[in-house]
């Protein structure tokens, strides 16, 4: 199977005290240099097959969105490499990157913030087309914009309206239309439905799947809602504190979750019977700070199965069955 | 799609825009706000007088051949010895005060408006650059702004004017050098909040060059605060110019502005010729008052933080 995207040992950090002066602190009678670095993404690797949907799940603050923004080069990666369609794009800048900008697009989380309030829908769509020269003239761009709008379910007479005249679900449709405008091969969807009403979520997800069938592109889907993930993905990765703790196909992970964190996630999904939360082995405490990462396995402080080795050594990734990898000392 | 359809669409769109403006909350609040209505009436009347004034003044005060020294020291029409022709009286050289005010307001308004344009142009560009790029360039621009803000505005203006000399161009230079700071700071602040929005990220994902993002996507979204600031800035520039001219540092004697008219009368104020100074002074007050009323309304309406 051909890979559309391969991510190897990707790392992303943010320095909270950027200036030199910020780093110097006065403590216990002497000056010390204190660094506060958020380790948002810690050495993760995964790959996405062409035409497939790969989902990243995890609780908020675990680095899902940062991973997405690093892959699409909104933020430059601090380590590792990203290969798109077989070519290394890790260190491409400006004009070299433009060629790939056309091929990868993004759908954003908040439909109320992702559309320029001063641009008409038509301009939102034609601007990227004209910039990347997917069309040769303005009138062709307009025709194409109408065609895409029709596909995402926006009527053509609504094209000259401004974003504030649409509802949340309609805006997300426009956001999707914008991503489609440059005919991408790969789309990153950063929690595209989490800001929407539950009744609208299904519509948008189905729209995204229909468009995928039609245009045959691949998705990197970021989500925290497991039912959404189950509906849409082929493969998935479970993230915890900037690390992928378990990855595999949807069947592997939903039928046979191995990592204690994955199990905890599934047990946290509310069920109609209502007994699930009580009987499951609960995960204690809060997600630790990404500034001071725990020693050894990042999960050991909260893990109900923790052994002495877990606090000392970071486990290595193990392939338990074919294509199903887990990061835990138990296996 | 034929071109005809598009043009009819466009005129239709204009009608729709006008319609939606009349139905908008903005217009609704405008109708309900007496200060806004008074302010805009004053501003419109002042502008009309400045534009159409020369058609109904009795003389061109700049043209020496029009002026007759025999008409000097005439009090306003309602005072003893006043003439209806010189409604607001005349000055030491026989110039009609009303005509001088009309012509002077033209100079004052041109300086106020043009100065605002220049100051805002400099301030907007620097503010956008500082806010969008951040880092060192931001630090440099903002420290210069801070240094300038630590001096009184008038002091800098007086210093600049005594350095580069009188003249309308020079006063515009001085005003823009004084006024850009407020724009730069406001625009930078707004830019900082706009650039974090996802639609700016979307333009980066598309790969648009920075200048296009700044001017097409950031600028339109910071424009309301620029409009608010500009309205008030016109008033404050008219005042600054009046002060400078009053001090003899502003416009040249041959093209008196309102401030210079006040100065002319100041010399004879205590010898009983009160009208020479008072009327231009009152007119400055009315202009600035009207502009500020309008500016206050715009600030309250367009600034969502105050709502």
pLDDT digit string (tens) for B4-28? Answer: 445 556 677 778 778 878 777 888 8
The residue assigned the tokens 């074919």 is A322
Three-state DSSP at A304 gives: coil
Average pLDDT, chain B: 85
- For residue B220, give the chain A residue with the closest CA: A118
In a domain, A244, yes or no: yes
Say whether pLDDT at B97 is over 60: yes
Distance (Å) from the alpha carbon of B201 to chain A's nearest alpha carbon:
7
CATH tag, B33-66+74-306: 1.10.3720.10
Q: Is A86 left (phi over 0), alpha (psi -120 to 50) or beta?
A: left
Residues B170/B118, Cβ–Cβ less than 8 Å: no
Q: What is the mean pLDDT of residues A287-295?
A: 83
Residues A190/A206, Cβ–Cβ less than 8 Å: no
Q: Which of B9, B20, B134, B198 to mutate to test the interface with A (most CBs of A within 10 A)?
A: B198
Beta-carbon separation of B208 and A131 below 8 A: yes
Kindly state the percentage of chain A with pLDDT values over 90.
Answer: 23
| Chain A residues with CB-CB distance to B205 below 8 A | 72, 74, 101, 104-106
Say whether pLDDT at B42 is over 80: yes
Please count the structural domains in chain A: 1
Residues A86/A47, Cβ–Cβ less than 8 Å: no
Q: Which two tokens stand for residue A253?
A: 């992970």
Beta-carbon separation of B221 and A116 below 8 A: yes
Q: Give the pLDDT confidence of B278-302 residue by residue, as tens digits.
A: 899 999 999 999 999 998 888 888 7
Highest mean pLDDT among B12-26, B72-86, B136-150: B136-150
Split at pLDDT 50, 70, 90, the class of A274 is: low
Q: Touching check for A116 and chain B: CB below 8 Å?
A: yes
Q: At what angle do helices B219-246 and B274-302 cross, to 10 degrees?
A: 170
Residues A258/A320, Cβ–Cβ less than 8 Å: yes
Range in A232-246, B274-288, B292-306 the model is least confident about: B292-306
ipTM of this predicted structure: 0.86
pTM value?
0.83
**Parallel/antiparallel/unpaired status of strands A3-15 and A79-84:** antiparallel
Q: Is A110 left (phi over 0), alpha (psi -120 to 50) or beta?
A: beta
Q: Give the pLDDT confidence of A161-207 residue by residue, as tens digits.
A: 888 889 988 999 999 999 989 889 999 999 888 888 888 888 889 99
Q: Residue A270: how many CB atoms within 10 A of its CB? A: 9
pLDDT at B307: 46
**Adjacent-strand bridge partners of A218:** A186
pLDDT at A115: 92
Domain boundaries, given as residue ranges, for chain B: 33-66+74-306
Q: Touching check for A171 and chain B: CB below 8 Å?
A: no
Q: Give the pLDDT confidence of A53-64 residue by residue, as tens digits.
A: 999 998 888 888
Beta-carbon separation of A106 and B13 below 8 A: no
pLDDT at A173: 92
Beta-carbon separation of A139 and B205 below 8 A: no
Q: Which of B9, B193, B199, B225 to mutate to test the interface with A (most CBs of A within 10 A)?
A: B199
Say whether pLDDT at B78 is over 70: yes
Distance (Å) from the alpha carbon of B43 to chain A's nearest alpha carbon:
28
Residues B112/B59, Cβ–Cβ less than 8 Å: no
Helix (H) or strand (E) holding A320: strand A318-321
Say whether pLDDT at A280 is over 80: no
Q: How many CB pairs under 8 A join A and B?
A: 57
Q: Touching check for A15 and chain B: CB below 8 Å?
A: no
Residues A170/A204, Cβ–Cβ less than 8 Å: no
Beta-carbon separation of A128 and B201 below 8 A: no
pLDDT at A328: 87
Cα-flanking dihedrals φ and ψ of residue A266, to 5°?
-65, -40
Q: Which of A116, A134, A166, A171 to mutate to test the interface with B (most CBs of B within 10 A)?
A: A116
For the stretch A309-326, what's the b/e string if a residue is b when 16 or more beta carbons lie within 10 angstroms of its beta carbon? ebeeebbeeeeeeeebbb
Q: Which residues form the domain of A17?
A: 3-103+184-326
Question: Which residues of B sit within 8 Å Cβ distance of A?
Answer: 1, 9, 13, 197-199, 201-208, 217, 220-221
Beta-carbon separation of B199 and A105 below 8 A: no
**CA–CA separation, B307 vs B293, rounded Å?**
17
**CA–CA separation, A132 vs A123, rounded Å?**
14
Determine the length of chain B.
Answer: 307
Say whether pLDDT at A133 is over 50: yes
Half-sphere exposure of residue A222, counting CA atoms within 13 Å on the CB side?
24
Q: What is the mean pLDDT of residues A310-316?
A: 86
Beta-carbon separation of A114 and B217 below 8 A: no
Beta-carbon separation of A106 and B199 below 8 A: no
Using a 10 angstrom Cβ sphere, with 0-12 exposed, 13-18 middle and 19 or more buried, the burial of residue B28 is exposed
**CA–CA separation, A326 vs A318, rounded Å?**
5
| Chain A residues with CB-CB distance to B202 below 8 A | 106, 108, 114, 175, 178
CATH of the domain at A269: 3.40.50.300
**Dihedral of alpha carbons A193, A199, A203, A209, sign:** positive
- For residue A71, give the chain B residue with the closest CA: B205
Average pLDDT, chain A: 86
Range in A120-124, A216-220, B79-83, B265-269 the model is least confident about: B79-83
Residues B42/B235, Cβ–Cβ less than 8 Å: no
Q: Which two tokens stand for residue A213?
A: 């069938």
Beta-carbon separation of B1 and A178 below 8 A: no
Beta-carbon separation of A110 and B198 below 8 A: yes
Facing residue for A118 by CB, picked from B198, B206, B220: B220
In a domain, A161, yes or no: no
pLDDT at B2: 43
Say whether pLDDT at A18 is over 80: no
Highest mean pLDDT among B61-75, B139-153, B253-267: B139-153
Laid out side by side, the sheet with A87-88 consists of A37-49, A3-15, A79-84, A87-88
Facing residue for B217 by CB, picked from A116, A143, A178: A116
Q: What is the mean pLDDT of residues A134-138?
A: 88
Facing residue for A113 by CB, picked from B199, B205, B217: B199
| Chain B residues with CB-CB distance to A105 below 8 A | 205-206
Beta-carbon separation of B202 and A178 below 8 A: yes
Q: Give the pLDDT confidence of A105-121 residue by residue, as tens digits.
A: 999 999 889 999 888 89
- Cα→Cα distances A121→A109, A196, B1, B199, B215, Å: 18, 20, 18, 13, 18
Residues A192/A136, Cβ–Cβ less than 8 Å: no
Residues A224/A57, Cβ–Cβ less than 8 Å: yes
The residue assigned the tokens 């809602």 is A225
- Cα→Cα distances B177→A40, A162, B118, B259, Å: 44, 37, 9, 20
Higher pLDDT, B63 or B147: B147
Using a 10 angstrom Cβ sphere, with 0-12 exposed, 13-18 middle and 19 or more buried, the burial of residue A93 is exposed
Three-state DSSP at B45 gives: helix
Higher pLDDT, A235 or A304: A235
pLDDT at B303: 65
**Parallel/antiparallel/unpaired status of strands A235-240 and A243-249:** antiparallel
In a domain, A259, yes or no: yes
- Cα→Cα distances A140→A143, A180, B187, B209, B273, Å: 5, 15, 36, 23, 73
Cα separation of the two ends of chain B = 44
């Amino acid at each position: 199977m051909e890979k559309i995207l391969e991510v190897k040992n990707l790392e992303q950090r943010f320095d909270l005290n950027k200036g030199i002066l910020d780093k110097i602190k006065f403590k216990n009678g002497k000056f010390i240099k204190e660094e506060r670095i958020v380790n948002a993404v810690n050495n993760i690797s995964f790959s996405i097959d062409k035409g497939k949907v790969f989902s990243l799940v995890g609780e908020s603050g675990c680095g899902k969105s940062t991973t997405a923004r690093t892959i699409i080069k909104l933020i430059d990666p601090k380590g590792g490499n990203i290969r798109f369609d077989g070519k290394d794009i890790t260190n491409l800048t400006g004009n070299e990157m433009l060629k790939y900008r056309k091929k990868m697009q993004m759908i954003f989380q908040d439909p109320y913030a992702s559309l320029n309030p001063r641009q008409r829908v038509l301009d939102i769509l034609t601007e990227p087309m004209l910039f990347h020269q997917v069309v040769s003239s303005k009138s062709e761009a307009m025709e194409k914009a109408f065609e895409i709008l029709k596909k995402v379910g926006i009527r053509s007479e609504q094209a000259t309206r401004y974003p504030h005249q649409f509802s949340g679900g309609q805006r997300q449709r426009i956001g999707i239309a914008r991503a489609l405008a440059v005919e991408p091969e790969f789309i990153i969807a950063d929690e595209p439905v989490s800001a929407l009403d539950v009744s609208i979520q299904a519509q948008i997800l189905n729209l995204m799947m229909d468009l995928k069938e039609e245009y045959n592109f691949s998705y990197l889907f970021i989500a925290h809602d497991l039912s959404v993930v189950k509906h849409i993905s082929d493969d998935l990765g479970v993230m915890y504190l900037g690390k992928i703790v378990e990855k595999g196909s949807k069947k592997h992970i939903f039928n046979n979750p191995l990592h204690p964190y994955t199990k905890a996630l599934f047990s946290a999904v509310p069920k109609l019977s209502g007994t699930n939360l009580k009987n499951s082995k609960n995960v204690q405490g809060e997600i630790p700070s990404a500034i001071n990462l725990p020693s050894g396995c990042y999960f050991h402080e909260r893990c109900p199965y923790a052994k002495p080795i877990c606090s000392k050594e970071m486990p290595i990734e193990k392939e338990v069955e074919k294509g199903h990898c887990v990061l835990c000392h138990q296996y | 799609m034929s071109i005809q359809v598009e043009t009819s669409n466009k005129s239709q769109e204009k009608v729709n825009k006008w319609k939606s403006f009349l139905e908008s909350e903005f217009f609704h609040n405008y109708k309900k706000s007496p200060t806004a209505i008074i302010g805009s009436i004053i501003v419109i009347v002042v502008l009309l007088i400045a534009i159409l004034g020369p058609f109904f003044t009795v003389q061109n005060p700049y043209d020496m051949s029009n002026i007759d020294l025999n008409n000097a020291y005439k009090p306003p029409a309602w005072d003893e010895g006043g003439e209806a022709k010189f409604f607001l009286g005349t000055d030491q050289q026989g110039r009609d005060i009303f005509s001088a005010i009309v012509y002077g307001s033209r100079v004052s308004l041109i300086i106020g408006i043009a100065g605002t344009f220049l100051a805002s142009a400099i301030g907007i560009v620097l503010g956008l650059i500082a806010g969008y790029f951040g880092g060192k360039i931001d630090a440099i621009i903002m420290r210069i702004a801070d240094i300038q803000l630590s001096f009184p505005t008038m002091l800098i203006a007086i210093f600049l004017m005594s350095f580069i000399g009188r003249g309308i161009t020079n006063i515009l230079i001085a005003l823009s050098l004084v006024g850009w700071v407020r724009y730069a700071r406001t625009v930078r602040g707004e830019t900082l909040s706009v650039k974090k929005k996802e639609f700016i990220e979307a333009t980066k994902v598309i790969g648009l060059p920075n200048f296009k993002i700044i001017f097409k996507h950031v600028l339109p979204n910071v424009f309301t605060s620029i409009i608010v600031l500009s309205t008030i800035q016109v008033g404050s520039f008219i005042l600054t110019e009046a002060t400078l001219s009053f001090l003899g540092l502003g416009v040249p004697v041959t093209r008196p502005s309102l401030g210079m008219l006040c100065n002319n009368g100041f010399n004879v104020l205590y010898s009983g010729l009160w009208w020479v100074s008072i009327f231009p002074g009152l007119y400055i007050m009315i202009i600035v008052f009207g502009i500020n009323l309008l500016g206050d309304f715009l600030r309250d309406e367009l600034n969502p933080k105050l709502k």
